[in-house]
């Protein structure tokens, strides 16, 4: 994954009946491959994983892999708070040719650090695929601590961490403990540059749906030691990074894509469409950055 710096957490497009539009998913994947993404992760939080069935997740993976798998990596979000079911789904994703899997920290049941360790170890030990851990305590109420990650990356196929705690001290400690044994990806677009400054690899992005080439340029500038230019780009893109979180992800993102004519459909409950005020904010944001 050394060359993979920009991964996109891909949305799941729906038709008017809120069934997955697999043809559109293939189109979106090809669009992302042509606009900066080194890979995509299907069925993550941005892909509305909590409201997708296992069968839908696998068909989405198969569709995207077939559409764009020769142009970029295709990873599958198979994590859940049920270890046995996660193993089952991950094995199916492996059979379908996923390039890797992303495992979110178990939500709701709030395991201990030992529980988190045993959960991820049990899954990784059943697979030959590369594994990315996903720490997002704001959504899961479980914080995967750096000390636990340091133990986990001793497992050969746990190769990366998507860190979305928003805590830069935690990122610093994480890097100091794991060194180069695994790659750290920012889980927040707005923290991509700060995390890369601490030795991070890149980002699992949502903003790359609309400004992928610009994010890729920012990352490339930083990697080439053009720090001032990279910072200028970060400042320029920062309003978009933050603006896409005026409501729960992926509500503003889907609204943005629909305004841009991508026709990705609505959202499944319990998520609902952007409000009139949010829609107006998003429209103005896109216009201000000459995207609309």
Per annotation, catalytic residue among 14, 22, 117, 134? 134
In three state form, how does the secondary structure of the chain look? CCCCCEEEECCCCECCCCCECHHHHHHHHHHHHCCCCCEEEECCCCCCHHHCCHHHHHHHHHHHHHHHCCCCEEEEECCCCCHHHHHHHHHHHHHCCCCEEEEECCCCCCCCHHHHHHHHHHHHCCCCCCEEEEECHHHHCCCCCHHHHHHHCCCCCEEEEEECCCCHHHHHHHHHHHCCCCEEEECCHHHHHHHHHCCCCEEEECCHHHHHHHHHHHHHHHHCCCHHHHHHHHHHHHHHHHHCCCCCCCHHHHHHHHHCCCCCCCCCCCCCCCCHHHHHHHHHHHHHCCCC
Per annotation, catalytic residue among 24, 65, 162, 216? 162
107 included as an active-site residue? no
134 included as an active-site residue? yes
Catalytic residue positions, numbered: 134, 162
């Amino acid at each position: 994954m050394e060359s993979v710096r920009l991964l996109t957490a891909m949305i799941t497009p729906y038709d008017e009946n809120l069934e997955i539009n697999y043809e559109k998913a293939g189109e979106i994947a090809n669009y992302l491959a042509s606009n900066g993404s080194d890979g995509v992760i299907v069925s993550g939080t941005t892909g509305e994983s909590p409201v997708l069935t296992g069968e839908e997740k696998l068909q989405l993976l198969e569709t995207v892999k077939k559409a764009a798998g020769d142009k970029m990596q295709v990873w599958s979000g198979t994590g859940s708070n049920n270890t046995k079911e996660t193993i089952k789904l991950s094995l199916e994703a492996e059979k379908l040719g996923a390039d890797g899997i992303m495992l979110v920290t178990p939500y709701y049941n709030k395991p201990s650090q030992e529980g988190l360790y045993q959960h991820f170890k049990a899954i990784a030990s059943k697979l030959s695929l590369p594994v990315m851990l996903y720490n997002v305590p704001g959504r899961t109420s479980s914080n995967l601590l750096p000390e636990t990650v340091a133990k986990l990356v001793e497992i050969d196929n746990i190769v990366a961490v998507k860190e979305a705690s928003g805590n830069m001290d935690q990122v610093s400690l994480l890097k100091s403990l794991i060194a180069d044994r695994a790659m750290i990806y920012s889980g927040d677009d707005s923290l991509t540059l700060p995390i890369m400054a601490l030795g991070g690899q890149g980002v699992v992005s949502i903003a790359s749906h609309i400004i992928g080439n610009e994010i890729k340029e920012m990352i490339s500038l930083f990697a080439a030691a053009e720090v001032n230019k990279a910072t200028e780009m970060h400042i320029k893109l920062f309003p978009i990074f933050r603006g896409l979180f005026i409501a729960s992800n992926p509500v503003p993102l889907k609204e943005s894509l629909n305004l841009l004519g991508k026709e990705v459909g609505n959202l499944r409950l319990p998520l609902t469409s952007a409000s009139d005020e949010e829609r107006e904010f998003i429209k103005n944001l896109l216009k201000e950055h000459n995207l609309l």
